[in-house]
Amino acid sequence: MINESLVQLGGRLRTREVSSVELTTAFLERIARLNPVLNAFITVDRERTLAQAREADARLGRGEGGPLTGIPVAHKDIFCARGWRTTCGSRMLSNFVSPYDAHVVERLAGAGAVCLGKTNMDEFAMGSSNETSHFGPVKNPWNTAMVSGGSSGGSAAAVAARLAPGATGTDTGGSIRQPAALCGLTGLKPTYGVVSRYGMIAFASSLDQGGPMARSAQDCALLLNSMSGFDPRDSTSLERPAEDYSRGVDAARDPDRPLVGLTVGLPKEFFGPGMDADVAAAVEAAIAEVRRLGAQTVDIGLPNMELSIPVYYVLAPAEASSNLSRFDGVRYGHRSAQFDDLMDMYCRTRAEGFGDEVKRRILIGTYVLSHGYYDAYYLQAQKLRRLIAQDFVAAFRHCDVIMGPTSPTVAFALGARSADPVQMYLSDIYTIAVNLAGLPGMSIPCGFGGHGLPVGLQIIGNYFDEARMIEVAHRYQQVTDWHLRAPAL
């Protein structure tokens, strides 16, 4: 069962071929066996999880179940969940038990999904390798000497290792897509505002977006159907009619050329120096397959994309500096055991509670927001952000979707980039511009590179065009088996 899709598992549950308790127990036992090696989960509560599974079985017994009822799902530990420890991968929140559910958790629970536990992540979602977590790095299931990617590395490793059939993640600069690529699964970042940020601990509020991680595009569509929707508690949540993101999956198509009529844009900036040869070979082979399926390709330009890294590392730290000011040891979370006065308590608490990468970004963000530097850095970055978004608007006049690599390399060795923050930041060179523009994007497996490690193909859609992206990914996955391959664990 652990190798079956969400759709297949849902069918088994609804026909009562298997119970949610049996299915959930199978995953819990696998977590107990493999998590000490992979470190994908921070918190597992077997009794709480099985209680939810029993409730799901009761719903199914009454004929009330939906597509996700009884399906076990893991949640990135950035989402608050009532009664669950919610740490955000940080010492600062290592003892915090949430009194409420995030909108995403609430929606999936309402759909009958069972929470398997909370997955490991880079501290406060700041990282590209899942090495900044207070709880230790997540290991890549394909090679445990390699990183899993970040910041949603725990969710990615859990799905890839079949510790969970699906998981939630968040994407601020590529944190769903990059670990999905490095671990060989499908991850989708929706248009900004499609998934509510309520109860999702904030890193950079204008960039953060929750999304699904699963084996296939079809499974991601199923999760996104439940995760999305207007939430009045989030001022950036978009009030739009409900969508069925899997509508294109079952549409009648020419079985030999299902992508006829699709135009794929290939940005020259995605295929220049900087991408490893093994990644380039896999991505080019995937694009050739897309052409064989009937799509036509056109060369496009995103001339300001090269500015996305410096723009992001001005704007995201600025927002982080503001958002993380609430963690001061007064109301909740870590507080230093020894201090002289209130100011000393603030200083000691934050020095002890935050890791090096979080401190680095807080300092950068405070600097660019300070008097005398705000105009020179922050405002300039916002202007450049608009130019990056306008490049995508212009590109979509000539194509339906954009394709290219998700990451310039396959997974790299644990510790290889820890001492070089800039090199680490460049891991997200192909993903960050999508967040700056607020566009939807996804990564799907498209082959293997050096040392047998997965390569991801990135698909970028126009605003609110998630259903088309999912359909394109699904058609590709119908004729390839990269998404079906699993690490030998």
Q: Tell me which of 19, 20, 76, 321 is the catalytic residue.
A: 76
CB 163 within 8 A of CB 118: no
Q: Tell me which of 151, 152, 407, 427 is the catalytic residue.
A: 151
175 part of the active site: yes
What's the CA gap between 56 and 73, in Å, rounded? 13
pTM above 0.95, yes or no: yes
What's the CA gap between 458 and 56, in Å, rounded? 35
CB 410 within 8 A of CB 182: yes
The dihedral through the CA atoms of 475, 285, 216, 24 has a sign that is: positive
The dihedral through the CA atoms of 353, 358, 363, 367 has a sign that is: negative
**Beta-bridge partners for 455:** 447
CA distance to 31, 61, 91, 163, 169, per residue, from 186 (Å): 20, 32, 30, 15, 11
Give pLDDT, residue 199.
98
**Beta-bridge partners for 166:** 214
Query: Taking the CA of residue 160 as centre, how many other CA atoms within 13 Å lie in the half-sphere pointing to its CB?
Result: 33
76 part of the active site: yes
- For the chain, give the secondary structure using H, E and C: CCCCCHHHHHHHHHCCCCCHHHHHHHHHHHHHHHHHHHCCEEECCHHHHHHHHHHHHHHHHCCCCCCCCCCEEEEECCECCCCCECCCCCHHHCCCECCCCCHHHHHHHHCCCEEEEEECCCHHHCCCCCCCCCCCCCEECCEEEEECCCCCHHHHHHHHCCCCCEEEEECCCCCCHHHHHHHCCEEEECCCCCCCCCCECCCCCCCCCEEEEECCHHHHHHHHHHHCCCCCCCCCCCCCCCCCCCCCCCCCCCCCCCCCCCEEEEEHHHCCCCCCHHHHHHHHHHHHHHHHCCCEEEEECCCCHHHHHHHHHHHHHHHHHHHHHHCCCCCCCCCCCCCCCHHHHHHHHHHHHCCHHHHHHHHHHHHHHCCCCHHHHHHHHHHHHHHHHHHHHHHCCCCCEEEEECCCCCCCECCCCCCCHHHHHHHHCCCHHHHHHCCCEEEEEEEECHHHCEEEEEEEECCCCHHHHHHHHHHHHHHCCHHHCCCCC
Query: Taking the CA of residue 407 as centre, how many other CA atoms within 13 Å lie in the half-sphere pointing to its CB?
Result: 36
Give pLDDT, residue 477.
97
Q: Which amino acid is at 314?
A: V
Mark 419-432 as b/e (b = at least 16 C-beta within 10 Å). Answer: eebeebbbbbbbbb
What's the CA gap between 366 and 382, in Å, rounded? 16
**Token match 């989402």: residue?**
79
The tens-digit pLDDT sequence of the chain (489 residues) is 899 999 999 999 999 999 999 999 999 999 999 999 999 999 999 999 999 999 999 999 999 989 999 999 999 999 999 999 999 999 999 999 999 999 999 999 999 999 999 999 999 999 999 999 999 999 999 999 999 999 999 999 999 999 999 999 999 999 999 999 999 999 999 999 999 999 999 999 999 999 999 999 999 999 999 999 999 999 999 999 999 999 989 887 888 899 999 999 999 999 988 899 999 999 999 999 999 999 999 999 999 999 999 999 999 999 999 999 999 999 999 999 999 999 999 999 999 999 999 999 999 999 999 998 999 999 999 999 999 999 999 999 999 999 999 999 999 999 999 989 989 999 999 999 999 999 999 999 999 998 899 999 999 999 999 999 999 999 999 999 999 999 998
Q: Please, what is the angle between helix 153-160 and helix 20-38, to 10°?
A: 120
Give pLDDT, residue 450.
84
Give pLDDT, residue 253.
84
Q: Tell me which of 175, 196, 226, 237 is the catalytic residue.
A: 175
Give pLDDT, residue 1.
87
Of the candidates 229, 161, 168, the one whose C-alpha atom is nearest the C-alpha of residue 201 is 168
> In the numeric block, which tokens belong to residue 436?
């700056």
- Length of the chain, in residues: 489
